Amino acid sequence: MAILPITVYGDKILRKKTELVKEVDMQVIELIKNMFETMRNANGIGLAANQIGADKSIFVIDISGVEGSENIKPMVFINPEILERSEETIPIEEGCLSLPDLRYDVVRPKRVKVKFFDADMKEHTIEADEMFARVIQHEYDHLQGILFIDKIHESVLKKFKKALQKIRLRQVETDYPLTEKMDYVLR
């Protein structure tokens, strides 16, 4: 397994809808292992493939260290599709490994129903709520080219302008490696 550098705000791959996975071969299995390793190294609870420069519709989640979510095992979601979102919403502060040091309350549906494939390409449909639903939605958005800052009111986003520029220029300190500036990379 390898710890891979993480793409940041300004990298074009974060704004592109990812490609569907047609088959899970050894390269995809290695990518998934590396995603878990990279996420854990960065103290994250979710990571999408495009956050490490891979144009694939895959994300991984491990929220077992979050209070109240200890019974939720680490999971991989391949070609996920959110089927239902609850009308009830809740605001929770979010952060993102691709937006180091930025945090803000984001309003999202409290519950979701999602269909996805696991690493054996077996299809699953699950319902998730609270933090589990939150992380699924955050990572799913990454696969659609959406960042959590896209859900923040424009007047608030203006306050982040300098911080976003520093991130784009990689003038931020992180405990994990960042990619060099990239326009587009396939892995």
Task: State residue 183's pLDDT score.
Answer: 54
What structural domains does the chain harbor?
12-168 (3.90.45.10)
Indicate the pLDDT class of residue 182, thresholds 50, 70 and 90: low
Q: Identify whether the C-beta of residue 117 lies closer than 8 Å to the C-beta of residue 124.
A: yes
Query: What are the residue numbers of the active site?
Result: 139
Please state, in angstroms and rounded to a whole number, the distance separating the CA atoms of residues 14 and 101: 17
Hey, what's the torsion of the CAs at 7, 56, 25, 178, to 10 degrees? 0
pLDDT in tens, 126-171: 999 999 999 999 999 999 999 999 999 998 889 999 999 999 999 9
Closest Cα to residue 128, out of 111, 143, 145, 144? 111
Indicate the pLDDT class of residue 186, thresholds 50, 70 and 90: very low
Which helix (H) or strand (E) segment is 37 a member of?
Answer: helix 26-41
Please state, in angstroms and rounded to a whole number, the distance separating the CA atoms of residues 94 and 103: 5
pLDDT in tens, 85-131: 999 999 999 999 999 999 999 999 999 999 999 999 999 999 999 99
Is 60 exceeded by the pLDDT of residue 34? yes
**What are the C-alpha distances in Å from 97 to residues 5, 52, 63, 120, 139?**
11, 10, 15, 27, 11
Average pLDDT, the chain: 94
